[in-house]
Structure 1
Amino acid sequence: MKTWLAGLSLASVALFLGGCASHSADPGQGAYTAQQGQAAYYSDAYQGNRTANGERYDRNALTAAHRSLPFGTRVNVTNLNNGRNVTVRINDRGPFTRGRIIDLSRRAAQQLGMIRSGTAPVRVIVLN
């Protein structure tokens, strides 16, 4: 009986947390098509370091890190504060800071107008 109750409470928590996520899932593929949350951008200190897919980080490229999207996926990122958007290619894993959904290259952050603030609320839409 205790095992069943423990399982029930874990299932309830999982359902609750799943309901809090802000993305549209495609049950057939297990991937989302859109997500909203906070974005940040890479420090210049990472320039030239290897990304998770093996290429070197280039602050002037339109690239980004995402926790689960496949490398090479192109996404459109819109700054919800000003409506500016940019298309980036996923080439790294992260962000590893709670509450963030994407880390952008410096060039992408500039195009979104978020250099001064450092972070911004964004919508991420998968293009391919």
Structure 2
Amino acid sequence: MNSNNLKFKIYSFHFTIFFSILLLTFSCAGPKRAGYYKEGFTERGLASWYGKDFHGRKTANGEVYDMYKLSAAHKTLPLGVYARVTNLENGKEVKVKVNDRGPFIRGRFLDLSYGAAKELGMVEAGVAKVELEILGEVPYQTAKGKTSAGRVSSAGLFTIQVGAFVEKENAVRLKSLLENRYKDVHIVSYDTNIQKFYRVRVGAFESEKDALKVADELEAQSYTIFITVRD
């Protein structure tokens, strides 16, 4: 074997190892799904609040929104999780249940109920810099009274949201793309009274466990998704 062939084989071996490590690194660094958040996780940023325009409407987990209760909306935290929210401007804090998705305004990471915002002393200001800390999740009870990791929705079927767009054409384009591989791809419009969004969703699953199988496939394709209750 001449020296050139030996050098080529050594280079190929080293490149294979490097590529394998690189591939493993990127495969482990995918977007966070709701279930990946752990108790004690903290996040800081701007929070806003929403009130009477949404009072009585259904939230993302199927509950009816009550503006006077202590609840919150977050884009990716697991629905049903409890968190402590601290107003970093005045030190006030409140315990809330995450039961909805949002906010859909750039620069904000949390939408609080009117009741929670009042406890934090931020109703008049409208927004405040806060810290959120996950406290834990209340076990979901099935119809038979047993705790289930693959929960079943009492409000209907689960679905996977793959995107939300201001322009309907973009939602239609994504829907057409997903229909090449998945069944029951649909668009749901959502009007916040400030902005109208077109949500692209996939499937109707009887349990969260069934939805997770398809969610994993979509995440592998670099979609940022979350599982919610179908409208």
Shorter-chain TM-score tier: 0.7 to 0.9
Give the Cα separation in 2 of the matches to 1:106 and 1:43: 5
TM value normalised by structure 1: 0.75
Give the Cα separation in 1 of the matches to 2:64 and 2:133: 24
Aligned partner letter, 1:94: G
Runs of 4+ in structure 1 off by over 3 angstroms are none
Give the Cα separation in 1 of the matches to 2:69 and 2:51: 14
Shift of 1:45: 1.1
Give the Cα separation in 1 of the matches to 2:37 and 2:53: 32
User: Is there any run of 5+ residues in structure 1 with no aligned partner, and where?
Assistant: 1-24
Match for 2:114 among 106, 115, 125?
A: 106
SS at match of 2:53: helix
Structure of greater relative contact order (alpha carbons < 8 Å, 6+ residues apart): 1
SS at match of 1:45: coil
Aligned partner letter, 2:53: A
User: Is there any run of 5+ residues in structure 2 with no aligned partner, and where?
Assistant: 1-31, 137-231
Give the Cα separation in 1 of the matches to 2:91 and 2:100: 25
Aligned partner letter, 1:95: P
The question of 1:31 aligning with 2:37 is answered yes
Match of 1:55 in 2: 63
Q: Deviations over 1:22-49 (max 9, x none)?
A: xxx9xxx742600000000013111101
Aligned partner letter, 2:48: A
Matches within 5 A, 1:1-128: 30-31=36-37, 33-128=41-136
Give the Cα separation in 2 of the matches to 1:43 and 1:58: 8
Identical-pair percentage: 47
TM value normalised by structure 2: 0.42
